[in-house]
Amino acid sequence: MALKDELLKILKEEKALYQQLFEIAEAKNEALVNNDTDKLVEIVENDREVIAEIETKDEQRNNKIQAIKSEFEIELEKDSYSNLIEKLPEAWGELLNPLREELIELTDEFHNLNEQNQKLLDQALELNQLSFETIVKTIKEQDTTYSKDKKLKKEQPRIINKQG
C-alpha cells in the first residue's frame, strides 16, 4: 500500500536526519571540550539547518498519519503510535516497529549527549565569568592611577608607547 511505503520513507529520512543531528552534537561536544569557539559557531549553524529539516519531516509524518487514519477510518481517543498500530493491519507494525525503536534509541542518545554538552557549556560560562571577575578584581587592586600620593602611583601598562 502506498501510504505505508510513504510513511516508511518519511521515517527513514527522519532517522537519517537524527543521525546527522547526533553527529553534529558529537562535533559540538568535541568543540566544547577543545574550547574551539569558532568551530562551535559553525556547528550551531549546521545544527539549526538540520533541526529545520527535522521539523519539516515531522510535519510530513503527522500529515501522513492523518491520511492513514482517514484511509482506515481510525479515530483514537489518545493520539499515540501504539494506539494507531493496534488499529492497522499486522504487517504495518512488523514493518514500522523496528524503525520506530531505532528512532527512539537514537533520539535518547541524542538527548543524553545534548545534556552533556549543556553541562560543558555551563562549566565554560562559569569559568569565563570567574576569569572575568578575577581580571576585574586584579585591575581594581592595581589601579592607583588617580592616587593623590604620587609615590603610590604605579605605571600603567601602555598599549601604544613612544618606542612604537
Sequence letter at residue 117: N
Residue 162 in this model has a pLDDT that exceeds 60: no
d(CA 50, CA 92): 28
Residue 130 lies in a domain: yes
Cell numbers representing residue 77 in the block: 481517543
Give tens-digit pLDDT for 66-107.
999 999 999 998 889 999 999 999 999 999 999 999 999 999
Sign of CA dihedral 13, 18, 24, 30: negative
pTM tops 0.85:
no
Residue 155 lies in a domain: no
Cell numbers representing residue 64 in the block: 501522513
Structural element, H or E, at residue 78: none
d(CA 77, CA 38): 49
- Kindly report the CATH number assigned to the domain that includes residue 45: 1.20.58
Residue 148 lies in a domain: no
Residue 142 lies in a domain: no
Determine the structural domain holding residue 85 and report its residue range.
Answer: 1-136
d(CA 125, CA 103): 32
With bands split at pLDDT 50, 70 and 90, how would you rate the model's confidence at 124? confident
Query: How confident is the prediction for the chain on average, in pLDDT?
Result: 87
Sign of CA dihedral 30, 34, 38, 41: positive
Residue 44 lies in a domain: yes
> CB–CB of 51/87 below 8 Å?
no
Q: Residue 12 carries which DSSP code?
A: H
Structural element, H or E, at residue 111: helix 90-142
